[in-house]
Every structure is written in C-alpha cells, then in structure tokens.
Structure 1
Amino acid sequence: MKNITIINIMIIKVIIIKVTTLSFLIALIAGCNPDNFRQVVEVDIPEHESRLVLNARISSLDIGITALVANSLGILDTSAYDIPEDATVRLFRDGELLGNDFSFMPGKLKYFLSLDEPLGTAPGLYRMDASTPGYEPIFAEQRMPVPVPIHSLRVERDGAIDDEGRRADGIEVQFSDPAGEENYYALEFYYEISEVQPGGDTLTYRNPVYASTLDQVVQYGYHYEQVLTDKSFNGSSYTVSLYAYPGALPEGAPNARLVARLYSLSRDAFLYDLSLRQYYDALDNPFAEPVTVHSNVEGGYGIFALSSVAEAGVPLE
C-alpha cells in the first residue's frame, strides 16, 4: 500500500512538471509574437499650407543667373511639384533692378536672367523677389561677401599622404582671413590646358579636380567639395592642405595649370550647402537624425545665396 502511494505521488509530480513545462512553452511562443515587440506611435502631422519655393545660388563670376520657382508639398504628399511658367522673378542691387525680369526656360523649367557683364564683387545688398498667381509673394536678401585673395597656391607631386597612408599629389592654398567678423569659405579646383590652333586662336580646356583633405577644420559640402569657417583662425593666415590622387592632375601636358577658386560665402550659402549634404547623407538611413535644410526665404521656402570668388593659378609640370 505504501509503495502504491509513492508511485501515485511520482506520477503526480511528473504530470505537474509536464503541465508546467507546457505552460512555459505556450507563454514563450505567445511572447515571441512580433506584435509584442512592436510599438505603434500615432503622430499628428499638421496640415501643410503650400507656399512658393525659391532656389538661386549666385556667384560674382555669373553673367547668366538661374532661379528655380516651385511650390512646397506636405511630407506625405506624393503629387508632382507645380512649376509655374508665369512667375515674376526680379533681382535688385541696392534697390535698383538688375536687367529685366527673369524669363522662363521651358527646357530647364527654370527662370533665367542674362547680364551684360559678370555680377562682380562690389559690396551691395541684393534682393530677389518671386510671385505668381495663387501664392503669397516671397523674397530674400543677401549682402555680397568681400572676396579674400589667395596668397599662394602650391602643387607638389607625391607630396602628400592620403587617408590610407598612400602617396598622393599635394595641394596647398594659403589665404589671410579678415579679422573681427565671421567668414565662410569654399574651395574648388580645376585644371586647364591651352592649345594654340593653326589659325592663331587659342582653345582652353577645363576639367574639375576632386581633392580631399585630412584637415579637421574642413567639412564636405554638397555643391562644394570643401567648406570651412574661420572659427579656429579668425584674423590670421591659414593654409589648407589637400591631396589629389595620381592621375587627377595631368603630367607632361604643355601649357597646363591648376586653378584654385576660393569662394567667400554668405552665411546662408554656407549653412544651406552644409545642411543639404547632411540631408542627403541621412536619406534612407534609419539610424540618422532628421536634417532640416537651411532656408532664408521670407514668406516661403528655399535659398537665395551669394558668393564672391578669388582665383589663383600655378603651372603643372
């Protein structure tokens, strides 16, 4: 009788263990439901009021000026942008109209203004207006930055080390930063080769040169390869050291030279270019923080930016 009782107790324990194990497995399987690891957060997106958008980036070298005029769309709006063909776009310098109204170019979907001569580096307050039926008019203002001359431009074959420790052609650009103000810069390079034709005419070919740098002061922009501020060298001379990979600069070509352009950017031009690069870097990256592209247009969105340009050249051997 005692043995039967012990056997019954053992059977009950086995049943309890099986039931406990089965319950645990059921709970584990239920807990693995993907919905249990998903959190749905409802976000109220405010209603978007469509406004005009203006995009115009102008340098002191420009003799033809283009401007894009469109409308803004909400974040979830998948409809096409409206690019009006009857907008009125005007550019003023110190209150005086430059040329005539911009004309629409259907092939490029942009507005264009032809000047008699390059815009130039003379200081002045520039204003661009844009208006079209159905939208509130917009405008933006910019002062032409003072150009900063390049003191020296040097090229040394195999004179630099790239970010992987390999030899590269070195490029150095030196300039003096004006003191007592915030200044913003961008660098651009190209090489040109001049050839004299049998008839006596000279043809000049230009090709961009893509340079990189290990200088921590320099950042990568969107339209410009290198952008920087004078926060770390305000009022003093500064040299930007860069490198170009082998083959980027021609060798043995007669009448070849490297040209450096130092852009003095308005603050809005700098912030727009930097934020646009950051926006595209973060695009489709689920771990990146959202980036707001800089805008300076009153009554709407977009950018009106100015830059003045200084150039220097050096022969390529």
Structure 2
Amino acid sequence: MKKLSSILLLTLGLAGCESTVTLPEPAHTPRIALLYTLSDQPLDTSSNLMVTRQPFVSYSQRVFDTKALMGRDDATIEIEDEGGTVVERFKAGYPRKQNVYGRSSGYYTPTMGLVGQAGRTYTLRTSMPGFETVESTLTMPTKPVIDDATFVVRSGGVLGGNTQGKARLTITLTDNPTTANYYAAFVRLLDKQGKPILNSSIYTDFEDQNSDFEIGRFELSSDSYYFGNNLKPYADTNVSGKQFSLSANVQYYVGGCYSSPSRPVVCQELGYVEVKVSNMTPDAYRFYQSSRSYNDTRDNPFAEPAPLAFNIKPGYGLFGGAADATYRIKLF
C-alpha cells in the first residue's frame, strides 16, 4: 500500500508541472481555395442556396496564421466543355446589391448563363496573381424524378402570417438505376402568388422523438449560406433503381408580414410548400459529408481527424454539380 501511495503522489506531482513545447510549423505553399456548385438551373437570386452556386474564391493559410481569411476578387474563372470551348466566364461581385451576411468579397457572378446538362463534362479552371492555376472536372448528374410530395399538418395552423406549427413531409422519388445518386432535399414556403415568404422557415423537428433519425438516413437540408452541417445528402445505397420515400417531421414558421419606409405593412399568405431535390455529383457528396464530420468534431480533442475531401487540384475546395427537380404542394 505504501508503494502504491508513493506512485500516486509522483503521478500527481508530474501532472502539476507545466512545460512549454515549441512545435515546428509545417511547410506551407499558399494555394487557391474555391467552392462552387454548377447547377442545371439558372441562378435563383431569391434563394440562399445560390451562395454555394456561385464561385467563392479564397486561398489557404499557414497552420499558425491567425488573420481572418478573406475572399479574393482578382481571380480569373472559366468553364470549358468537352471540346475545350469556353462556355462560362465569371466576374467578381454578388448579383444583389446587399452583402451576404456582411460578406461579399470573393463571390463571382456568371456572365454567359451556363446551365449544366446531364451527362456533359465540364472543366473549371481558376487563376489568380501569385498562385498556381487550379482546375477540376465533373460530369453533370441526371435530374431527380419526384413522383409525389405531401405536407400534412400535425399541429398549429397554416393560414395568415405569424403562424407556427408542425407537419409531416414526405417526398416520393424514383431512383435512376444506371448511376449512383446522391440526393439533398430543400423546402421553402411560398405565398399564393408563388413568391418566397419573408421571415419564414421550415426545418427538421429535432424535438420530436418519432422523427426518422438514423445514421446515414434522410434529413432535411437547409439552404443556409453556411455549407457545413446544413447540407445533408442522402445516398441511394439501399434504394438503387426503386421508388422510395423520404419522410421527416418538420417545424415551420410563417412570418408573413413586413414593411419598409416606402411602403405600408404587407402580409403574405401561405399558399405553397416548395420542395426542391438536388442530385449531386459524387465529389460534392463526399465534400459535404466530410464537412459535416469536420464541423461535428473540430471542438473535440478526442475525436478522430476528419479531413475535408476536395477535388480542386492543386488547390483546395469543391467544383460540384447538381441537377434539381422542384415540386410544389398547393395548400389551398
């Protein structure tokens, strides 16, 4: 027992010691970092999803660099088709006058109106002063097939503004058997004129114990500008070539009323639930899956390393593709 006590005292004494360890900084060559998803639809300026569907260009930093990472507005970005013809060029800037949550530097707007076509191959190439040119190639996926979608209110109401409630959302699709498919589902609330309702939201009901939560199963994605945990892709591993349904209990809030100095109070009345399902490229699926793992584990010192997957070479980031199908559920 005396020997055991001595060992414990020695252990506690060592635990109380402090020492400074100098870690050598890994060598680093700054490289272009880019995030962009090519869509088969024209750019929709009414959706927050547009932020990931414009190029955002920045650069990598040293491990111990503490400066805020900023976007770069001096990049040259082009997209070529299979024959080497330039089919899209971009200019620096955001297509709306206001900034995106105070951030506008680094975003680029298309100038030639390219919409990706299923089965076509596109190569994105980006250059920037002081950096090595980067590129990435993808083949556009096929459009999802939405057979049906339902929105059943479980509690609360759907009339007028300032309404909140709970509902059951079900989306039925037929999977393409010839390819691997990676789906993400987004939902937004529209008024009776088909315009997005301001100050409204709809999201997975995490408080409901009956929601269908399983590892690797379907969760509703958000069109938030932040790409990390909000995009939740679903792989067709268990449903390849079949008709299947994605279901989730959701909560919704309808703000509905807004005003400005130049106009009186206007109230939008809920008329539609719009479902958008994206089929993304495999690289995009891997990127968003790894970004979720990265954000879920970055504050946990005991977690396994979760590096980001990327396909921008010799830089960092994602050139992804997405084909969209939209289905509107009329409520009245």
TM-score interval w.r.t. the shorter chain?
Answer: 0.7 to 0.9
Q: Structure 1 pair 295/204, CA: closer, same or farther in 2 (3 Å)?
A: closer
Q: Structure 1 pair 287/40, CA: closer, same or farther in 2 (3 Å)?
A: farther
Quote the Cα distance in structure 2 between the aligned partners of 1:297 and 1:234: 29
The TM-score, its normalising length taken from structure 1, stands at 0.75
Q: CA deviation at 1:244?
A: 1.3
What is aligned with 1:87? 75
What is aligned with 1:12? none
Question: SS of the counterpart of 1:292?
Answer: coil
Given candidates 174, 187, 195, the residue that maps to 2:172 is: 174
Most deviating of 139-148 and 96-105: 96-105
Q: Structure 1 pair 154/101, CA: closer, same or farther in 2 (3 Å)?
A: closer
Q: Structure 1 pair 254/86, CA: closer, same or farther in 2 (3 Å)?
A: closer
The residue type equivalent to 1:267 in the other structure is P
**Post-superposition CA distance 1:11-47 (Å, at most 9, x none):** xxxxxxxxx97x9977754442143799999876531
The residue type equivalent to 2:204 in the other structure is A
What is aligned with 1:308? 323
Given candidates 266, 281, 288, the residue that maps to 2:296 is: 281
Most deviating of 143-152 and 108-117: 108-117
Q: Is the 2:182–2:235 contact (alpha carbons within 8 Å) kept by the matching residues of 1?
A: yes
Q: CA deviation at 1:280?
A: 1.1
Which residues of 2 match residues 72-151 of structure 1 at below 5 A?
A: 72-81=60-69, 83-94=71-82, 95-103=84-92, 108-115=104-111, 117=113, 119-151=115-147
Quote the Cα distance in structure 2 between the aligned partners of 1:274 and 1:190: 23
Q: Is the 2:136–2:313 contact (alpha carbons within 8 Å) kept by the matching residues of 1?
A: yes
Question: SS of the counterpart of 1:33?
Answer: helix
Most deviating of 112-121 and 302-311: 112-121
What is aligned with 2:197? 205
Most deviating of 294-303 and 284-293: 284-293
Q: Is the 2:167–2:251 contact (alpha carbons within 8 Å) kept by the matching residues of 1?
A: yes
Given candidates 237, 243, 250, the residue that maps to 2:243 is: 237
The residue type equivalent to 2:131 in the other structure is Y
Most deviating of 45-54 and 298-307: 45-54
- Residues 1:256 and 2:271 are matched in the alignment: yes
What is aligned with 1:187? 185
Quote the Cα distance in structure 1 between the aligned partners of 2:140 and 2:317: 18
Q: Is the 1:157–1:168 contact (alpha carbons within 8 Å) kept by the matching residues of 2?
A: yes
Quote the Cα distance in structure 1 between the aligned partners of 2:144 and 2:181: 10
Q: CA deviation at 1:241?
A: 1.2
Structure 2 gap ranges (5+): 45-52, 156-164, 206-210, 222-227, 257-267
Quote the Cα distance in structure 1 between the aligned partners of 2:255 and 2:292: 26
Q: Structure 1 pair 73/35, CA: closer, same or farther in 2 (3 Å)?
A: same
Q: Structure 1 pair 271/37, CA: closer, same or farther in 2 (3 Å)?
A: farther
The TM-score, its normalising length taken from structure 2, stands at 0.72
Q: CA deviation at 1:277?
A: 1.5
Q: CA deviation at 1:83?
A: 4.4
Q: Structure 1 pair 184/156, CA: closer, same or farther in 2 (3 Å)?
A: same
**Post-superposition CA distance 1:81-118 (Å, at most 9, x none):** 46443321112233321244433569711242334656
Quote the Cα distance in structure 2 between the aligned partners of 1:79 and 1:204: 37
- Residues 1:50 and 2:30 are matched in the alignment: yes
Most deviating of 123-132 and 182-191: 123-132
Quote the Cα distance in structure 2 between the aligned partners of 1:249 and 1:101: 35
What is aligned with 1:153? 149
- Residues 1:59 and 2:39 are matched in the alignment: yes
What is aligned with 1:218? 218
Quote the Cα distance in structure 2 between the aligned partners of 1:33 and 1:108: 53
The residue type equivalent to 1:278 in the other structure is S
The residue type equivalent to 2:212 in the other structure is L
Q: Structure 1 pair 116/31, CA: closer, same or farther in 2 (3 Å)?
A: closer
Structure 1 gap ranges (5+): 1-19, 160-166, 196-201
**Post-superposition CA distance 1:205-252 (Å, at most 9, x none):** 3644213541532257636454200111111111011111365799xx
Aligned length: 282
Q: Structure 1 pair 220/63, CA: closer, same or farther in 2 (3 Å)?
A: closer
Q: Larger Rg: 1 or 2?
A: 1
Quote the Cα distance in structure 1 between the aligned partners of 2:73 and 2:329: 45
Most deviating of 238-247 and 59-68: 59-68
Quote the Cα distance in structure 1 between the aligned partners of 2:134 and 2:43: 24
- What is the aligned-residue identity percentage? 20
Most deviating of 234-243 and 25-34: 25-34
